[in-house]
Amino acid sequence: MSDLNKLTLAEARDLLRSGETSSVALTEACLGAIEGAGALNAFVHNTPDLALERAGAADARLAAGNAPAMCGLPIGIKDLFCTTGVASQAASRILDGFRPEYDSTVSAKLRDAGAVMLGKLNMDEFAMGSSNETSTYGNAVNPWKVDGRALTPGGSSGGSAAAVAADLCLAATGTDTGGSIRQPAAFTGTVGIKPTYGRCSRWGIVAFASSLDQAGPMTKTVRDAAIMLEAMSGHDAKDSTSADLPVPDFEAMLTGDIRGKTIGIPREYRIEGMPEEIAALWDRGADMLRDAGAKVVEISLPHTKYALPAYYVIAPAEASSNLARYDGVRYGHRATLAAGDGITEMYEKTRAEGFGPEVQRRVMIGTYVLSAGFYDAYYNRARKVRTLIKRDFETVFAEGVDAILTPATPSSAFGLGEMANADPVQMYLNDVFTVTVNLAGLPGISVPAGLDSKGLPLGLQLIGQPWDEGELLKTAHVLEQAAGFVAKPSKWW
Amino acid sequence: MSEIDLETARKVAKLSRIAVAEGELPALAQDLSRILNFMEELGEVDVEGVEPMTSVTPMRLPRRIDGVTDGDIQAKILSNAPDAREGFFAVPKVVE
């Protein structure tokens, strides 16, 4: 069988169960695809030997029967997840050479379910970015291409999105602090879900902004997202914010029936200067859900406008604290010191050499907003605004709205380097539709919904009620089927 | 409008323990000022009587028994250290 790397998780699982293919064959197909895709710079640490070893073990387990759904399926893991004995450096120079002695809870759950890790995926440094241009490994490149320009796969989970879109793996893990799963999914015609805050354990995932960070799957279909999310979810005593709630069978909830659901269209998301194509896609998405029997209503989320500035106070504040641990003492890079340098010079030189410019900026902004005299004016005010943003969502949910439909991004993928001279704030605007979801701790999913006039994918976002990923996936599945997005990037790499 | 002057930029870099060369301070100050100006919008919001969010999901922080649950992994803990000697992390002299 050819092109095994192009299968979805569900298709591959079914072929494995029927004995029509093997995990080793699937893994070899993906390793071959990765080998030929150096130009995408998606995989940055390859682990072929480990992958084949795990694939062999998965085949034995499958033969014995009763293997879990993910058993034998080859996937990529974002570089932000610690993986035992395999480089895990959050795409930062400061973690050069770091090989963890342990696995993150999420990667361990996938490993224990029999999933086969092919290697580690490119990303923005410490997940800070929306274009995968801040990585110490260099840019990841979008497999979608419509002219001479190399396009961004989005960020921060840019390597994950590029790898899934280019069929280098069947699926990948991502993380999302302000949109880092959903924006790259939209830019690459793939599906990405950020679950409710607390659904996936954060233990062993390099921390960026702990009150916002969540892991989630990046897949080719909504069904695959349901399968993989289930394997990644669950309570973990090692993360004090992990929810002790049962994990439903998400795939079983994809019934296709959304009759009677109420879908909200937030008027504040119709931002000034929104491209006509995005507005039209959004309207079409609403029509599709209406045609499937849902009731579509206009809603108001009045504090939407303040989400980005609140995020850019809270996330850097938390990052400045989380990244204090990179000091050249316990792991990673340490600067070469001059004669007479003491410990302060070691910290300052190590961090200046180890952190890239965007990470340095955010650590410094975070330090500033937490410093004496500014704490109340910035940090506390932002946390109060966050309360109001969450309240906006609670209000519409209490009024009977089941899910909210919005665009996923304000544009399709842009060219690598095109934002190089822009104000940092311009880049932050990429997160305008996604960041509210992190601030409110809600689940959100990006579903590919069409191509723009240039031939590049566009996504729509659905936002669900807390802990109701099952219903959200069900609605997303209906939207996916109605949109019928089947386009794939043509291979140039 | 908040304006980050050179002195503030120098101080923030120091507090962040990031070495910034004198020549790079003006550009840094400008970047930080732009970002802070973007945050000024928050001043428009009426937050009177609103509690600052501490936890996005209403939950009690779980507690566990105050006991040793792990240990005897000194070699693992030191395995990634840039400089480890005799079972310790080694750093430059802290006190003269």
The reported pLDDT for the residue numbered A429 is 86
How many residues are recorded in chain B? Answer: 96
The residue to which tokens 């410093």 are assigned: A371
Question: What pLDDT, on a 0 to 100 scale, did the predictor assign at position A442?
Answer: 98
Query: Chain B residue closest to A356 (CA)?
Result: B18
Spans of chain B, pLDDT less than 50: none
- Does residue A331 sit at the B interface (CB-CB below 8 Å)? yes
Q: Name every residue whose Cβ is closer than 8 Å to that of residue A54 and which is 6 or more positions away in sequence.
A: A23, A27, A111, A114, A116, A117
Separation CA A476–CA A488 (nearest Å): 20
Give the model confidence (pLDDT) of A351-385 as tens digits.
999 999 999 999 999 999 999 889 999 999 999 99
The answer as to whether B47 is a domain residue is: no
Residue-by-residue DSSP string for A55-73: HHHHHHHHHHS---TTTT-
Query: Which tokens sit at A51?
Result: 């992958």
Q: Does the beta-carbon distance from B53 to A333 stay under 8 Å? A: no
pLDDT digits (tens, 9 = 90+) for A135-147: 999 999 999 999 9
Q: Report the CATH number that the domain containing residue B32 is assigned in CATH.
A: 1.10.20
Which residues sit opposite A205 in a β-bridge? A81
Residues 13-72 of B with CB under 8 A from A: 13, 15-20, 28, 31-32, 34-36, 38-45, 47, 50-57, 59, 61-62, 64
* pLDDT-based confidence at residue A273 (cuts at 50, 70, 90): confident
Collapsed DSSP state (helix, strand, coil) of residue A214: strand
Mark yes or no for CB contact A385/B42 under 8 Å.
yes
CATH 3.40.50.2300 fits domain A1-493: no
Report the residue of chain A nearest B61, measured CA to CA. Answer: A240
CA atoms within 13 A on the CB side of A284: 17
CA distance linking residue A403 with residue A285, whole number of Å = 13
Residue B21 lies in a domain: yes
The residues of A that are catalytic are 78, 156, 180
Cα–Cα distance measured from residue A173 to residue A80, given in angstroms and rounded to the nearest whole number = 10
Q: Region A226-241: what's the mean pLDDT?
A: 97
Contacts of A310 in chain B (CB under 8 A): 42
Partner residues linked to A78 by β-bridges:
A121
Q: If you count DSSP H runs as helices and E runs as strands, how many of each does chain B have, helices first?
A: 3, 2
Q: How far apart are CA A61 and CA A73, in angstroms?
A: 12
Q: Tell me if B51 and A361 make a contact (CB, 8 A cut-off).
A: no
Give the residue numbers spanning the domain of B18: 6-42
> What's the number of domains chain B is made of?
1
Q: What's the confidence (pLDDT) of residue B2?
A: 67
Task: Answer whether A132's CB lies under 8 Å from A140's CB.
Answer: yes
* Strand bridging mode A191-194 / A444-451: antiparallel
Interface confidence (ipTM) of the complex: 0.95
Q: How far apart are CA A325 and CA A339, in angstroms?
A: 25
pLDDT value, residue A141:
98
Q: Which residue of B has its CA nearest to A84?
A: B76
The domain spans of chain A are 1-493
Query: Using 50, 70 and 90 to split pLDDT, how confident is the model at A430?
Result: confident
Is residue A130 a contact partner of residue A434, using CB atoms and an 8 Å limit? Answer: no
Rounded to whole angstroms, the Cα distance separating A471 from A475 reads 6
With a pLDDT cut of 70, the percent of chain A lying above it is 100
Average per-residue pLDDT for chain A: 97
pLDDT score of A1: 53
Q: Is residue B52 part of a domain?
A: no
Is residue B37 domain-resident? yes
